[in-house]
Structure 1
Amino acid sequence: MFMRLKLAIAIAAFALITSNSATAGFIPKVSVDSTGRTVMINNRAAIRFHASNGSLSPAERARITAERLTRLAASKVDPKTIYLKADNQYARIMAGETLVCIVTADDARASKTTPTTLGSLWVRNIRNLLSMPAIVLSDKEIVVPLGENRRIYVSGAATGPISAASKNADIAFASVGTDGRYVQVTGQKVGQTAVEIVVEGERALATVYVKKYAGFIGQIISTEVTGNPCPRHLLDYAAKQAILRNAVLESGASIKIHNIDGIDRPLQSGATREAKVDVSISGNGYITYTATPTVKIQNLSIPREEAAQLFYSNNPERLLKYQTLFAGKLEQGKPVRILYHHQNAIGKRAKLIVEVINPGPTPAAFRVIKGVAGPMLDTVLVGYMAGGAFMRDELSNAGVIERVPPQSRLVLVSDTLGHNETSSGILQVNQIEGQSSYARVAALPPDTEEAQVNVGSIMPAPAIFALELSDHVYPNPAKTLEASYVVGERWAFIPIGRHAITDSAAQKKLYGNYGVTYNINIKVENPTEQPKKVSVLFEPSAGLASGVFIIDGEFVSAKYAKPPAEIPLASYQLKPGESRNVRIVTVPVAGSNYPATLVVRS
């Protein structure tokens, strides 16, 4: 009984995915199997006799039933007219007034069921198999990638040899499989056509669409970072950039990165790790391309670099029109620090971008350390956040190696500023390969093609390249200060941003020294016979200010400070006669009022 139920379920399922009416010219085939007991319709079991009925053996019953069904099939009987007529002893399968077969109690007993139940099963089998279409295709419509093959599997009541032909072989070529009942379709040219499939004189059509994939990406990609260690947010950025840099997209297609596995922890200097990236590339009229390429991330052991120049983009601070705000030349072996801080006062939205441009005929590579923030209305907070992000990454020497193709530009910052919103950032860029390149800061109308970019976008450089270089360029943007404090004596006051650096011609002064690194070494001593607490405090001298610091290797900050407040940064408990050295690194951040002062006292 279990096998009979499986047979019925399979036939019913087949019927659900095919047409409910037989092909007009096709006559279902009825036969008896090799056991002599099973009636077959279209080479599929419909009725299996296990018992005699009077003088008729199971084999004779099968033969007679097959003859009746053959006549019914030839007369184009409507399978829906086949029904079960049951009484207390027998169940008769009828076609109108014509008897097909009888289900006896012995048949039912052999199947461990009742005549009515078994008869209902046989009726369903007969109906479904007589209704079976001559040809059933696995796909009535099929999309075939250009240059690839796809199969259309052929089943149905017609079981003879298959032939197939494409209506347009220039678009798709069709051939019959030699190792199964299928037709193989090869995409030759983008377009639409149809494949006609013929079996035993019956015909079926499948519509074929030949399309390109929306794009492609290699399965193994490499990228490089720096840092001791390199933090997770840079591993994420580097993996995404590697994907975007290596993906090949068809016109109008777009790429989406769904998940990155393998960047859940920092990467130590000198180490390599593989990340798996789930990617899809899609576009109207294309086949969506999906892949999970491997990105090999190598953390290069590169020493910390001091900036040779400071590119200062803060003039004007308040934007009144769309314009290039800064342009400077980049050269190999000359690390450049870029500080920008701009507020949108145009009265409508503006796209602020920071980019490096490689106009030359050879690829260029850059090591980039970046701390950026915005857009936001709070001009002090945005500078504080940008400075803090930069100092954290600079502390661990964490950056990304960016590679820019010839005649291309790489977008490092892309912020859309609303009215009175400010964008701020500190970047350090060192060109390590290629001919001289350029850094540019610009405020653009957001609806222009040039402004339709995201962070990490690589776009063509202008065909006619001409930039007027800015004059707010300051060499050697670093100061080293030595100070000392002895408990019981005068407090130590260390000015930050008070003595302005100048440009190379000594014509311009950078008041406040925004973006300049201060390396401060302080020696503190306790000559007394009592333990003493020594504190380092941040004192705003020129108005509301924020500060970001690395003190003895730890990041410390003062978010808001307003005179005459003193913000504690660090404290040290000195034993009698003890002395120690305190190492502080800081950068005056944009949006704050500098100069400011560090105070050391007990």
Structure 2
Amino acid sequence: MPTATPTPPPIVVEPPLLNVEPGKTVAGRINSALGDVTSTVADATVATAVVDQAQRVLYVTGVKVGTTTVTLTDTRGVTRDVPVRVAYAAGTVADETSLRVTGNPTSTDYLREAIVTAVTRAATARIGATVTVAPDGIPLRGDLKIDDRLELDVPVRISGNGYLDVNGSTHVSVENTALPTIQPSRLLVSDYPERLTANGVLFTARLDRTQAQRFLYYHYNPGSEPARRIVLVARNTSNAPATVQMIDGSAGPGPNEMEVGHLSTKRFLVREARNEGQVLTIAAGATTSLVVHPLPPQSVVSGILQLRLVSGDPLELALVAQDAMAMDEAPGDTSQLLSGGAPHARGVYPVPSFVFERTYDVEGDDLDIPIGQLPLPNLRQGEALSGDYGVEQTLNVVIVNMTRGPRAIALYANPRGGRATGTFLVDGTLVQAHALPAFSRFKIWQETINAGTFRRIRIVTMPEGGSSYPLRLTFAPDDGSVPPGGPGSLIY
């Protein structure tokens, strides 16, 4: 009987698909071919191909953006089609970057966020491409103590918009620098125009070594508007470098204004308590973006920053609304500020913090402390600051029980304007409030004060963007209502 002719082994090319940039060359290994191999390009205007017969390698050079096919043929007549894609790389991953942080210590969560930001900013992405740094891929083992350092390699991916994906890693050096806490002397607020309908400069200020500053911004991009970003730019006009310490409590973008305002406040208060931030150097004559905050349509962003010029000459600050894909983050002409829409606060306010020193006698009247009730005058032309948004409020209360028996005491939150979220550091412990209905009363702390004793308690809070303040905090006898975190409580 006649024997069947064996099927010749196919030509194998590794990798089976070749991606190449215009003007660059890539190689593919040819296997299982017999004799000399010829190459034919379907569209030589997109790419060219050459076979190294001795090394059994296919070299493809990109000519212009597009796709084509290279057909390989050996002496048996066996062929293999190799798809070729010519496109530009999505960007360039930085080989290395450095990061100086503060914190006592700097928490792992903050380190992850700061490293993601630093590596993303160090990468160069083409317009429309996205830099992705997975926080879970950052090999951290714990908090970073003052004066400690760490070195790590962070995986990075740049992709999107039809470009060739770029995968790599950036070597990051992190140092925890010892610096004192920031004590701001005034509050800067940018909440006008709250609803953005144009690009331009939202706020300008000057940062010098005589006055540290707190800066609150809160802006909304309507659904009918293009994607934007909010950029805080620092310009160093001197011939010497400047160093800035910054605590960043930013949140968003997101569609829920109360959620964004709450998250921003929580991040700021927690980080400020730890002195957790970054130390940034601005080169002589340079302009640097301190914050780059994406703002897509139908979203709100909020930021609460604490800024101190550690060294160098004064810096010019500008908060700018830009197209999301703008090539340059520099603000341009800062003499004209955006305006329009309903009036909201924009200006400089003289009191960034309130401190209440109070005593509560368990046999006396309830102790009410209003939060966000005093409007602050504007040192510039513009609206007063109603609701005290961005103003930190510290309550130092001594609870006295001179009776013969223990007394159960509680602290209640009571919104007086409308629905309100809240963040409270109670003796350093984080307590949060979901959106509380107007004029409701929820317990945020409770404790029994023994007979003949007193108890000192410290509460730090701040009115939250997107919520309706004022809010009243009340020390009173425990009414037996659900404790914080209990079933039905909006406190957690």
Verify same fold: TM over 0.5.
Answer: yes
Taking a change above 3 Å as real, the CA distance of residues 498 and 154 of structure 1, as seen in their structure-2 partners, is closer
Q: Which structure 1 residue ranges, 5 or more long, are not aligned?
A: 1-84, 86-93, 95-122, 443-449
Does the 8 A contact of 2:294 with 2:324 survive in 1?
A: no
Which of 437, 440, 460 is the aligned partner of 1:585? 460
Distance in 2 (alpha carbons) for counterparts of 1:589 and 1:516: 10
Residue in 1 aligned with 2:97?
221
Distance in 2 (alpha carbons) for counterparts of 1:340 and 1:210: 44
- Deviation (angstroms), 1:527: 1.6
Which of 264, 267, 277 is the aligned partner of 2:143? 267
Q: For each residue in 1:184-228, what CA deviation from the matched residue of structure 2 results, as whole angstroms up to 9, or x when unmatched?
A: 85969889999999999x9x9999998765433244433333334
Residue in 1 aligned with 2:216?
339
Q: For each residue in 1:430-458, what CA deviation from the matched residue of structure 2 results, as whole angstroms up to 9, or x when unmatched?
A: 4557761324264xxxxxxx3225xxx98
Q: Check if 1:290 corresponds to 2:159.
A: no
- Deviation (angstroms), 1:479: 1.8
* More moved, 299-308 vs 500-509: 500-509
Taking a change above 3 Å as real, the CA distance of residues 467 and 309 of structure 1, as seen in their structure-2 partners, is farther
Does the 8 A contact of 2:150 with 2:175 survive in 1?
A: yes
Residue in 1 aligned with 2:358?
483
The alignment yields a C-alpha RMSD, in angstroms, of 4.9
Q: Check if 1:437 corresponds to 2:306.
A: no
Taking a change above 3 Å as real, the CA distance of residues 289 and 590 of structure 1, as seen in their structure-2 partners, is closer
- Deviation (angstroms), 1:588: 2.0
Which has more radius of gyration?
1
Which of 467, 471, 476 is the aligned partner of 1:596? 471
| TM-score normalized by the length of structure 1 | 0.60
Does the 8 A contact of 1:259 with 1:278 survive in 2?
A: no
Q: Aligned letter for 1:477?
A: P
Q: For each residue in 1:203-262, what CA deviation from the matched residue of structure 2 results, as whole angstroms up to 9, or x when unmatched?
A: x99999987654332444333333344445533332322222222345775544467423
Residue in 1 aligned with 2:485?
none
- Deviation (angstroms), 1:459: 4.0
Residue in 1 aligned with 2:249?
370
SS at match of 2:387: coil
Does the 8 A contact of 1:223 with 1:242 survive in 2?
A: yes
| TM-score normalized by the length of structure 2 | 0.71
Does the 8 A contact of 1:315 with 1:325 survive in 2?
A: no
1:286-325 aligned within 5 A: 287-315=164-192, 319=195, 321-322=197-198
Q: Aligned letter for 1:369?
A: D
SS at match of 1:529: coil
SS at match of 1:512: helix
1:467-506 aligned within 5 A: 467-468=336-337, 472-504=347-379
Distance in 2 (alpha carbons) for counterparts of 1:205 and 1:596: 74
Residue in 1 aligned with 2:431?
556
1:108-187 aligned within 5 A: 123=3, 127-128=5-6, 138=13, 150=27, 152-153=29-30, 156-158=33-35, 181-182=55-56
> Among the aligned pairs, what percent are the same residue?
24
Does the 8 A contact of 1:236 with 1:263 survive in 2?
A: no
SS at match of 1:293: strand
1:416-455 aligned within 5 A: 416-418=296-298, 423-431=301-309, 436-440=315-319, 442=321, 450-452=322-324
Residue in 2 aligned with 1:354?
230
Does the 8 A contact of 1:500 with 1:509 survive in 2?
A: yes
Distance in 1 (alpha carbons) for counterparts of 2:255 and 2:52: 65
Which of 274, 277, 283 is the aligned partner of 1:396? 274
Distance in 2 (alpha carbons) for counterparts of 1:563 and 1:163: 79
Distance in 2 (alpha carbons) for counterparts of 1:451 and 1:475: 33
> Aligned pairs, how many?
455
Distance in 1 (alpha carbons) for counterparts of 2:189 and 2:72: 72
Q: Check if 1:535 corresponds to 2:414.
A: no
Residue in 2 aligned with 1:566?
441
Does the 8 A contact of 2:418 with 2:437 survive in 1?
A: yes
Does the 8 A contact of 2:182 with 2:307 survive in 1?
A: no
Distance in 2 (alpha carbons) for counterparts of 1:281 and 1:545: 40
Higher relative contact order (CA 8 A, sep 6+): 2
SS at match of 2:472: strand
Residue in 2 aligned with 1:51?
none
Q: Aligned letter for 2:316?
A: S
Distance in 1 (alpha carbons) for counterparts of 2:19 and 2:402: 86
Q: Aligned letter for 2:137?
A: D
Residue in 2 aligned with 1:241?
117
Q: For each residue in 1:538-563, what CA deviation from the matched residue of structure 2 results, as whole angstroms up to 9, or x when unmatched?
A: 33345544432111111223434456
Taking a change above 3 Å as real, the CA distance of residues 219 and 580 of structure 1, as seen in their structure-2 partners, is same
Taking a change above 3 Å as real, the CA distance of residues 510 and 148 of structure 1, as seen in their structure-2 partners, is same
